[in-house]
Structure 1
Amino acid sequence: MSENGTEAAQAPQIKMNVLTQFVRDMSFENILAQKGASGQAQPDVQVQVNLDAKKRPVDHQFEVAIKLNITSKNKDDDTEMFILELDYAGVFHVEGVPEDQLHPFLLIECPRILFPFVRRIVSDVTRDGGFPPLNLDNIDFVALYRQEIARRQEEQSQPVN
């Protein structure tokens, strides 16, 4: 066998399957309707994203969750228009990922697969809630992962009082 053939044979074969995905928790609050307000408003939408991954009791299975907290306020007077909280999870079967690369794999690659479904839910819920559909921009999960690692490192370097 050639050198290249040997190297290819030794490289781990990564396998990933989405076993299931589901809404764990969701809340939508139309604050404008509750206040009886109507009319045109210029929305200022803020989106907070949190990711979570955990090992399941079955070998090679992991649960990955995208948690969104979306608030929309009127740009003119800063009154809240709606709040949407969504916890969306997927169960993945992952094999062949080296241990040192598993954490970033779970928090980057798995959310990329879940995101189109999350985007659709957010669009449908905001539309069905009486607002124009909110089409989320793509999320850079690599940048999000790097920010979280930097935040954790900074947190660990802070002296404990």
Structure 2
Amino acid sequence: MTTDAATGNQAATPSLSILAQYVKDLSFENPGAPRSLQARENAPSINISVNVNANPLSETEYDVVLSLNAEAKDGGKMLFNAELSYGGVFRVTGFPQEHMLPVLFIECPRLLFPFARQIVADATRNGGFPPLMIDPIDFAQMFQQRMTEEQVKAQVSKTN
């Protein structure tokens, strides 16, 4: 705790701690094996989707789940589909209320991402493909986009 000299109020120093990390769900599908493992002329098209959810467990603890879905196709044929839900339990204290959503939806997934990325890379490699190294994700931009979408939904529901 720190004391604000001007007001004499005690304020908690902001703190973000990871209490646990876990694989909630992991799926790897290689429906065309062993044919899907053959050399090909063109690189497959890979579509990656990302989602973040956060749920309170207590007044200071939150469960944050980073979901990654990577689907590789060659033409119309699926080569592989990797799905991972990777979670963390975080203790968040001392942040002003207006900073809680950015902490939960930007900072927490940023801490989880390197571990989730490695799990997806290992799963694709173990499935017989080169490891899929997902590019870094801009969680701040993702959060801003989500907030904008929520505001648009709110405006639409007000007019209807």
- The alpha-carbon deviation at position 12 of structure 1 amounts to 4.6
**Structure 2 counterparts to residues 74-153 of structure 1, below 5 A:** 74=74, 77-153=75-151
- The alpha-carbon deviation at position 154 of structure 1 amounts to 1.4
User: What CA distance in whole angstroms lies between the structure 1 residues aligned with 2:138 and 2:69?
Assistant: 17
8 Å Cα contact 2:37/2:128 also seen in 1: no
Q: Which runs of 5+ in 2 are unaligned?
A: none
User: What CA distance in whole angstroms lies between the structure 1 residues aligned with 2:5 and 2:109?
Assistant: 33
Residue number in structure 2 paired with 1:16: 16
User: What CA distance in whole angstroms lies between the structure 1 residues aligned with 2:71 and 2:94?
Assistant: 39
Q: Which runs of 5+ in 1 are unaligned?
A: none
* One-letter amino acid of the counterpart of residue 5, structure 2: T
Secondary structure at the aligned position of 1:33 is classed as coil
Deviations 1:41-75 (A, max 9, x none): 32111111010011003x3100101011111111x
* One-letter amino acid of the counterpart of residue 19, structure 2: L
- The alpha-carbon deviation at position 31 of structure 1 amounts to 2.1
Residue number in structure 1 paired with 2:154: 156
Q: Does 1:39 align with 2:32?
A: no
Calculate the aligned-residue CA RMSD, in Å: 2.0
Secondary structure at the aligned position of 2:33 is classed as helix
User: What CA distance in whole angstroms lies between the structure 1 residues aligned with 2:82 and 2:154?
Assistant: 32
Change (3 A) 1:131 1:37: closer
Secondary structure at the aligned position of 1:158 is classed as helix
- The alpha-carbon deviation at position 11 of structure 1 amounts to 6.2
User: What CA distance in whole angstroms lies between the structure 2 residues aligned with 1:14 and 1:37?
Assistant: 50
Secondary structure at the aligned position of 2:32 is classed as helix
Q: Does 1:51 align with 2:40?
A: no
User: What CA distance in whole angstroms lies between the structure 2 residues aligned with 1:38 and 1:132?
Assistant: 10
* One-letter amino acid of the counterpart of residue 71, structure 2: T
Q: Under a length normalisation based on structure 1, what TM-score does the superposition of the two structures give?
A: 0.86
Paired residue total:
152
User: What CA distance in whole angstroms lies between the structure 1 residues aligned with 2:94 and 2:85?
Assistant: 28
Q: Under a length normalisation based on structure 2, what TM-score does the superposition of the two structures give?
A: 0.87
